[in-house]
């Protein structure tokens, strides 16, 4: 498809002109001929991230070498990142720190939560949760033994009914990675607290896309990644949130030197920091941290409620552009109620993988999730109504002519 040969309706053009986020588009670097709808897997490059990487490598590292740890505050990058992410979560800067990966941070927090609720041994999670979350809980169960840690998975509809006084921790993902369904953080957290259960939320598909209010919702712990909606780059550091009320007493098991109260005293015994820094472990990856630190500048002057509202508007434009035939051919598995949606739309189709590849061949970058889910992310910081109108039009054409059945769209690579 050649985009400039396709006519954009006047009302779509007006929607873009009136967008409160229109000025943000210039802060991202995307190919001119590409419509990027995969920010829910990997956010695109920001100018500020590249600038920060260049400064860190070509100026700081090259010229100031090891003195950069002090001179350019490399040593406090985890805290700097936490300060920038905290407002996006509805949290205090003292409650958030950038470090490690979601998987590692889940291990830390699950271990710590079990120790706090030491008279209980059950971790409850949803059976359809993102696999790594369940894998980490299974690994902890194997390490500690079922008398101290037992993972119980339930269907989403049974979460509330599964909560009882044997449960130590409830671990859930806010937005389902396949369907895009959003859970009610406040209501579920309260139901768990009423039974004395600690709650750990995975915000991988929420942070940077949805308005969050962790402090107001009385959340205990949360994790999230930096490379999706936060645009920190591939493999960007994750973050940890620990509610203020737990910071003094929480004990995490990965006692690396950066979590020590005085790491450069090199004492033979471990003494944890008394603030959120106790969640650190090893030496921070400075270049990755710098990239995320730069990317987060995009969010400094935006309201997360506006981002969420504009994402919903983009989704409505996309859905209203699809023809009735396309809607019949695809099955929308994302809830239709906007209050229960993340910042994505997911459809099932017998040839979902082939459809994703056909769209990519037409410069509409989407993704596929096994076994049959076509997934599209809607990020209003760089996506416009004209983009999603074109994407829906091209998807309709592909479905109508069954172009996705061509042999070249069947080949699967290591990453899908």
Q: What does the pLDDT read at residue 5?
A: 57
User: What whole-number distance in Å separates Cα of residue 124 and Cα of residue 172?
Assistant: 8
324-347 core/surface letters (b: 16 or more CB in 10 A; e: else):
eebeebbeebbeeeeeebbbbbbb
Active site residue 239: no
**Annotated catalytic residue within 64, 92, 130, 217:** 130
Q: Is residue 41 predicted with pLDDT exceeding 50?
A: yes
Active site residue 378: no
Q: What does the pLDDT read at residue 4?
A: 55
**Annotated catalytic residue within 133, 202, 220, 329:** 202
For the chain, list the domains and their CATH numbers. Answer: 3-33+303-409 (3.90.1150.10), 51-299 (3.40.640.10)
H helix count then E strand count, the chain: 13, 15
pLDDT digit string (tens) for 383-393? 999 999 999 99
Active site residue 130: yes
Give yes or no for a contact between 223 and 361, defined as CB atoms under 8 angstroms apart: no
Cα 276 to chain centroid, rounded: 21
**Annotated catalytic residue within 28, 107, 227, 318:** 227
Is the pTM here over 0.85, yes or no?
A: yes
**Annotated catalytic residue within 182, 375, 389, 409:** 375
Over residues 83-109, mean pLDDT? 98
pLDDT digit string (tens) for 275-302? 999 999 999 999 999 999 999 999 999 9
Active site residue 409: no
Distance (Å) of CA 345 to CA 46, 331, 373, 375:
24, 11, 10, 6
- Report which secondary-structure segment, H or E, holds 153: strand 150-154
**Annotated catalytic residue within 182, 228, 278, 369:** 228
Q: What does the pLDDT read at residue 325?
A: 82
- The DSSP call for residue 279 is G
Distance (Å) of CA 87 to CA 164, 168, 392:
33, 28, 34
pLDDT digit string (tens) for 242-264? 999 999 999 999 999 999 999 99
Give yes or no for a contact between 380 and 311, defined as CB atoms under 8 angstroms apart: yes
- What are 35's strand-pairing partners? 364
Active site residue 202: yes
pLDDT digit string (tens) for 111-160? 999 999 999 999 999 999 999 999 999 999 999 999 999 999 999 999 99
């Amino acid at each position: 498809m050649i985009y400039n040969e396709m006519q954009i309706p006047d009302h779509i053009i007006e929607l873009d002109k009136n967008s409160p986020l229109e000025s943000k588009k210039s802060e991202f670097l995307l190919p001119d001929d590409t419509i990027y709808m995969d920010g829910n897997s990997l956010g695109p490059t920001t100018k500020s991230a590249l600038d920060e990487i260049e400064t860190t490598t070509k100026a700081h590292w090259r010229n100031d070498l090891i003195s950069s740890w002090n001179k350019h505050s490399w040593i406090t990058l985890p805290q700097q990142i936490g300060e920038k992410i905290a407002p996006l979560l509805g949290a205090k800067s003292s409650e958030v720190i950038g470090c490690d990966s979601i998987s590692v941070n889940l291990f830390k927090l699950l271990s710590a939560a079990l120790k706090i609720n030491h008279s209980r041994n059950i971790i409850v999670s949803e059976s359809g949760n993102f696999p790594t979350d369940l894998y980490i809980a299974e690994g902890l169960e194997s390490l500690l033994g079922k008398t101290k840690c037992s993972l119980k998975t339930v269907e989403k509809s049974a979460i509330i009914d599964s909560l009882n006084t044997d449960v130590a921790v409830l671990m859930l993902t806010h937005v389902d990675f396949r369907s895009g369904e959003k859970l009610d953080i406040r209501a579920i957290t309260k139901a768990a607290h009423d039974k004395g259960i600690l709650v750990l939320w995975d915000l991988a598909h929420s942070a940077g896309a949805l308005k969050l209010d962790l402090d107001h919702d009385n959340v205990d712990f949360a994790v999230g990644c930096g490379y999706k909606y936060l645009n920190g780059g591939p493999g960007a550091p994750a973050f940890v949130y620990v509610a203020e009320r737990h910071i003094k007493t929480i004990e995490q098991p990965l006692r690396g030197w950066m979590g020590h109260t005085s790491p450069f005293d090199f004492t033979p015994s471990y003494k944890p920091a008394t603030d959120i820094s106790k969640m650190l472990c090893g030496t921070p990856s400075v270049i990755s941290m710098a990239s995320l630190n730069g990317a987060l500048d995009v969010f400094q002057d935006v309201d997360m409620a506006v981002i969420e509202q504009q994402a919903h508007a983009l989704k409505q434009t996309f859905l209203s552009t699809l023809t009735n035939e396309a809607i019949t051919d695809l099955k929308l598995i994302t809830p239709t109620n906007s209050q229960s949606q993340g910042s994505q739309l997911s459809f099932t189709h017998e040839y979902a993988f082939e459809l994703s590849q056909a769209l990519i061949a037409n410069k509409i970058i989407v993704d596929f999730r096994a076994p049959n889910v076509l997934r599209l992310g809607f990020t209003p910081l760089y996506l416009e109504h004209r983009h999603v109108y074109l994407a829906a039009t091209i998807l309709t054409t592909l479905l109508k002519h069954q172009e996705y059945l061509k042999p070249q769209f069947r080949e699967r690579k290591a990453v899908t």
